[in-house]
Structure 1
Amino acid sequence: MSMFCYQCQETAGGKGCTKVGVCGKTADLANLQDLMIYTLKGISKLGVKADEIGYEVEGLDRFIMDGLFMTITNANFDKERFLAKIKEGLKIRDELKANLREKGVNLHDLKDATTFSVNSDDDIVYKANNDKDRVGVLATKDEDIRSLRELITYGLKGMAAYAEHADNLGYNDPEIAKFMRKTLAATMDDSLTVDDLVALTLKTGEYGVKVMALLDEANTSTYGNPEITEVNIGVRSNPAILVSGHDLKDFEELLKQTEGTGVDVYTHSEMLPANYYPAFKKYDHFVGNYGNAWWKQKEEFEKFNGAILFTTNCIVPPKESYADRVYTTGSTGYPGFKHIPDRVDGQPKDFSEIIEHAKKLPAPTEIERGTIVGGFAHAQVFALADKIVDAVKSGAIKKFFVMAGCDGRMKSRNYYTDFAAALPKDTVILTAGCAKYKYNKLKLGDIGGIPRVLDAGQCNDSYSLAVIALKLKEIFKLNDINELPIAYNIAWYEQKAVIVLLALLSLGVKNIHLGPTLPAFLSPNVANVLVENFGIGTISNVEDDIKMFMEA
């Protein structure tokens, strides 16, 4: 076994990748990512001690967020970036350790993650590859403890991604950062029992709600509340840049810098919801959305012809035919892709290289035409609240189906297309994340003018769906959110979906069905805890599942 990773839904055999990642990462890279997390845990242990004496370390919060974000599935495949990040982390760790000692802090209980020493890149690689029993996932021998530690860690990865997007817009919450440090450190605490870790898992979900609320505030305060929008999915004849990922600050800066250059801008996959924000609609060269979910990029990027920018995860190892026109920025990276550096002293990123590159490339090849409708975040749904409530009271709407989450390559995910198509005509789908691409181009119609697919936005906008549910609970004067006519049939793929799940559990939502499979990192006993306490289930077949949901 040269590596071990089971953090995504597509992990090999539904058990774990042991030689190479299904995502495309090599064993060397997987082990460096494990060492990155291990280093962050060591830093966090010291960060907790710093918090206890009120000692603040500038840049610490951002470093931990970014380090976690880099290890999310499909985010960063660049070993050199990980080597540099680990070295930076060890420098931060050792300076913090020295400063705490100077302040008289007792450091007698430090573990290897806080003390290990390396002198070169070769030492780091050796540590990552040859100390897996201490550094990697399988270092925790008890299966249930390991399962809960990993569940919490993956939740923190998703939390870090959302916190970083908010931080890019100038919104942060020190209490969220402190929780992340304390919780990362807790995953090394051998005194914590299964019950303790279950409680910490729910606490992680509670902070997941906080971080998604923070990002929602950041996005809407900066760019306005999403509006119902018909998004163009056709093309124009100008050279163009295709923007993938999630970061709206990057998107804004690129739009400003491409204005007047003759280069059009399109969104891809999870960047689709940028089309819904009022602030971006003033840009005439912002054309619309090109293509579908992340996993189709090899085919679609080839046909796009122009330059491509990844602002966050969702990278698939590329074809040679387009690899030379792909750029990364932020926490993302891939060997051979040009990387656009971070902001310095609050100045915008410099996108001039990708813009000049795009000018020399052909216009996109049309792969579809028409429009799709979205923009149903909580503010827009609240504006329709009377209409929706009347439809529920009259029986025109019998049930809402939350079908948020992720799309992916497995053929079993076609279930979600078939499920959406087969739903009774008196039901409405509430969605967020790239799972929408399984059905957002189906002609499902409307109910009294209310579209049957209400897209709230990106995966983090699952927060909107929770807010909507809580508002409906208030309107209908119910005691329990689970009394609402809402069913949860959620597709998951990576760690941002994990924090969304934990957030929903912390809000008391029960009977969530996950698919196409339950996470491999859930041990049988931990899975049973989720089933018994929260009614977590999986999918079977469309006909039986619809019958089960409609009768519930």
Structure 2
Amino acid sequence: MSSMFCFQCQEAAKGTGCTIQGVCGKTSDVANLQDLLLYTVKGISIYAAKGRELGVTDIASEHFIIKSLFATITNANFDRDGFIARVREGIVIRDGWKKRLAGSLADVSLGGHDAAQWTLGTDEELEAKAAAVGVLATENEDVRSLRELLTYGLKGMAAYLEHAAVLGYHEAGAQAFLERGLAATLNDELTADELVALVMECGKYGVDVMALLDRANTETYGNPEITKVNIGVGDRPGILISGHDLKDMEELLKQTEGTGVDVYTHSEMLPAHYYPAFKKYSHFVGNYGNAWWKQNEEFASFNGPILMTTNCVVPPKDSYKDRLYTTGNTGYPGIKHIGEGKDGAPKDFSAIIEQAKTCAAPVEIESGEIVGGFAHAAVMGVADKVVDAVKTGAIKRFFVMAGCDGRMKSRNYYTDFAQALPGDTVILTAGCAKYKYNKLDLGDIGGIPRVLDAGQCNDSYSLAVIALKLKEVFGLEDINDLPISYNIAWYEQKAVIVLLALLYLGVKNIHLGPTLPAFLSPNVAKVLVDTFGIGGITTVDEDVERFLSVV
């Protein structure tokens, strides 16, 4: 008997699933409580979906669903007590829906499901319940695979909805699908074909939500600009901010202005440097370090406090545990958490700022600059140059190498692949996968850098926009006729919604690595291969030859 089961990320133990403790570091009790929170959220969604049919919505319920899904994404939250509190809050919200829909309960589909009915008990009883409602509760392997594929897509979608929501942007259609999709994962009457259709519909809403977040970011902070980012350090104390939340970035910069404390980005926060709104801060010094999984060594040498704004938390070492802060949906036992401001006020970062003032300046671990900011507006600004380079043969092929980085040594494949590509190819990237090659000297093509970084994994929408624009410019009917190949590294659930969005847009022959998802059963994987040409990776030499041989 396993004490837990989780296979939602690429590093699932033995390529099948974590059964004792997560490779990410989460303990079995936390993993099970995350399952129970998901189960509770699905119960809420049964009623919320019915309420929406009747014209009744609830903002608190919507926010709870989004935040709960985000909290269960890989590497976001490890706080056992926090999950127990969330489950208890969720039951109150679910039962509130029951009272509100009292006159219509007989018409609530799945209203008799245990997820819609179970009652609270002691913490021990909650943990016993948690152990019984996880992934393996669905016995049929293919149904389980499709349910989890849909669930993980919804988790990624919820993350994007949350990022947009903090900036005041919402998408009612996506929220409605979120509730409907979650409830559907409890429906034993749905066929495999119906579940496949829901997965594809999730991709449709994934496109909508990524477009929403793109609009939220650019209308709030301006269109990203092509920017050189310093990767060295200054001589003043600093605060290191990691994760993805640009609102936290903005509030931290405002509150550190004039304090003598510099601000540095880490990992997925690097693209904050590309936004015009942040360039006015002279104490916004540069980027420190690399992808999320190197934080154990890089946080130690930074010397100052670190703020984790979203997922990508690694269980901290004692060398910096007293300098680590979480906020938003992140959490870790014993780590200081900065809560939301009251009544819409900014978060209070005074504690982290005061601690920073007592710390030494960061230890320099590298020097120089890296270039980024090639989101869709910037690329379209030089579209004529790009098109001419393609027409003259100076650029033979684009390679979309977006996605995630991770600990596995097999991910060095992506560094070797980038180096092995001929000089007439260009890499389009977004996400922390970029750290495998964004500091290599790969040169340029007529002034166009061979690595075009569009930003965070949250900015993957830019790559789709660029591809669709090129399709239009070249007068093509099919996006797959473009000289673009997709060799994507994945890690967690935001990568799942990006994949589903690309499939919805009609992109075929996407290659995923370093391994295919463990949650894809052989039959479900075959459907993706046969329908969309999804594939894995082999060796660098074989894959380069295969990609370049495509006409």
Q: Give the TM-score range, shorter chain.
A: over 0.9
1:337 maps to which residue?
A: 335
For the aligned residue pairs, the C-alpha RMSD in angstroms reads 0.9
Q: Tell whether the 8 Å contact from 2:98 to 2:105 is kept in structure 1 after alignment.
A: no
Pick one of 211, 222, 225 that aligns with 1:224: 222
SS at match of 2:486: strand
Quote how far apart the aligned CAs of 1:174 are: 1.3
Matching residue of 2:126: 124
Task: Tell me how far 1:102 sits from its aligned partner.
Answer: 4.3
Q: Distance in 2 between the 1:464 and 1:487 partners?
A: 16
**Structure 1: how far apart are the matches of 2:205 and 2:25?**
31
Q: Secondary structure at the match of 1:189?
A: coil
Distance 2:417 2:104 in 1: 60
* Moved >6 Å (runs of 4+): none
Partner residue, 2:449: 451
AA aligned opposite 1:303: S
The offset of 1:175, in angstroms, is 1.3
Looking at structure 2, the residues matched to 519 and 33 of structure 1 have their Cα atoms a distance apart, in angstroms, of 20
State the distance in 1 between where 2:177 and 2:251 align.
Answer: 31
**Residue 112 in 1 paired to residue 110 in 2?**
no
In structure 2, the partner of 1:433 is 431
Is 1:497 aligned to residue 495 of structure 2? Answer: yes
1:447 Cα shift?
0.1
Unaligned runs of 5+ in 2: none
Equivalent positions of 1:337-356 (< 5 A) are 337-356=335-354
Query: C-alpha deviations, 1:114-134, integer Å up to 9, x for none?
Result: 1101133232222113xx2xx
- The aligned residue for residue 93 of structure 1 is 94
Aligned with 1:59: secondary structure? helix
Query: How far apart, in 2, do the equivalents of 1:58 and 1:213 lie?
Result: 22
Pick closer, same or farther for the CA change 1:363–1:213 going to 2, 3 Å: same
Displacement of 1:99: 1.4
Q: What is the number of residues matched between the two proteins?
A: 548
Task: After TM superposition, list the pairs within 5 Å mapping 1:386-425 onto structure 2.
Answer: 386-425=384-423
Superposed CA offset, 1:107-164 (max 9, x none)? 48421101101133232222113xx2xx100111111110000000000001001110
Alignment deviations for residues 381-430 of structure 1 (CA, whole Å, 9 cap, x no partner): 00010000000000000000000000000000000000000100000000
What amino acid sits opposite 2:391 in the alignment? K
- 1:79 corresponds to which residue? 80
1:248 and 2:246 are equivalent in the alignment: yes
The amino acid across from 1:110 in the alignment is G
**Any conservation in 1 of the 2:47–2:111 contact (CA below 8 Å)?**
no
- Matched to 1:115, the amino acid is Q
Q: How does 1:86-485 map to 2 (within 5 A)?
A: 86-102=87-103, 106-107=107-108, 109-129=111-131, 132=132, 135-485=133-483
Indicate conservation of the 8 Å contact 1:255/1:286, yes or no: yes
> Which amino acid in the other structure matches residue 129 of structure 2?
K
What letter corresponds to residue 100 of structure 1 in structure 2? L
CA distance change for structure 1 residues 104 and 29 in 2, over 3 Å: closer, same or farther?
closer
| Cα shift at 1:173 | 1.1
Once residues 57 and 473 of structure 1 are traced to their aligned partners in structure 2, the CA distance between those partners, rounded to angstroms, is: 41
Hey, what's the Cα distance between the residues in 1 that align with 2:190 and 2:342?
41
Cα deviation for residue 343 of structure 1 reads: 2.9
The one-letter amino acid paired with 2:378 is Q
| One-letter identity of the residue aligned with 1:118 | L
**2-structure distance, mates of 1:479, 1:106:** 45
Aligned residue identity for 1:93:
R
**Which residue does 1:28 correspond to in 2?**
29
Aligned partner of residue 478 in structure 1, secondary structure: coil
Take 1:47 and 1:456, find their aligned partners in 2: how far apart are those partners? 36
Matching residue's letter, 1:309: L
Provide TM-score, normalisation by structure 2: 0.98
Partners in 2 of 1:154 and 1:241 — Cα distance? 32
Question: Aligned equivalents of 1:343 and 1:509: distance in 2?
Answer: 42
What is the percentage of aligned positions where both structures have the same residue?
70
CA deviations on 1:253-294 (whole Å, 9 max, x unpaired) are 000000001110000000000000000000000001000000
Give the aligned residue type for 2:152.
Y
Secondary structure of the residue aligned to 1:538 is: coil
Amino acid at match of 2:393: G
Deviations 1:348-374 (A, max 9, x none): 011111111111111100000000000
Residue 45 (structure 1) aligns with: 46
Instruction: Note the alpha carbon deviations across 1:6-29, whole angstroms, 9 max, x for none.
Output: 000001000000011000011000
Alpha-carbon distance in structure 1 between the residues aligned to 2:425 and 2:440: 15
Q: 1: distance between equivalents of 2:128 and 2:95?
A: 20
Report the alpha carbon displacement of residue 58 of structure 1 after superposing the two structures with TM.
2.9
What is the letter of the counterpart of residue 101 of structure 1? A
Contact 1:154-1:495 within 8 A present in 2 as well: yes
Structure 2 counterpart SS, 1:324: helix
Write the distance in 1 (CA, Å) between the matches of 2:377 and 2:451. Answer: 16
Maintained 8 Å contact 1:69/1:160: yes
Question: What is the letter of the counterpart of residue 111 of structure 1?
Answer: H
Partners of 2:126 and 2:360 lie apart in 1 by: 43
| d(CA) in 2 for partners of 1:261, 1:271 | 22
Name the amino acid aligned to 1:416: Y
For residues 460 and 241 of structure 1, what CA distance do their matches in structure 2 show? Answer: 23
The CA deviation at 1:105 is: 5.5
1:344, CA displacement in angstroms?
Answer: 2.4
SS at match of 2:311: coil
3-state secondary structure, aligned to 1:301: helix
Tell me if structure 1 keeps the 8 A contact 2:105–2:111: no
Cα separation, 1, equivalents of 2:89 and 2:422: 55
Q: Residue type of the partner of 2:281?
A: Y
Contact 1:239–1:363 (Cα < 8 Å) also in 2: yes
Aligned-partner residue type, residue 323 of structure 1: K
Q: Matches of 2:189 and 2:129 in 1, distance apart? A: 26
Deviation of 1:187 after TM superposition, in Å, equals 0.6
- What CA distance in whole angstroms lies between the structure 1 residues aligned with 2:119 and 2:506? 44
SS at match of 1:397: coil
Task: Tell me the distance in 1 between the aligned counterparts of 2:5 and 2:279.
Answer: 45
CA distance in 1, matches of 2:341, 2:121: 29
User: Helix, strand or coil: the match of 2:239?
Assistant: strand
CA distance in 2, matches of 1:104, 1:31: 29
- 1:207 maps to a residue whose letter is Y
Contact persistence 1:324–1:336 (CA under 8 A): no
- CA-CA distance at 1:245 after TM superposition: 0.2
Distance 2:304 2:475 in 1: 52
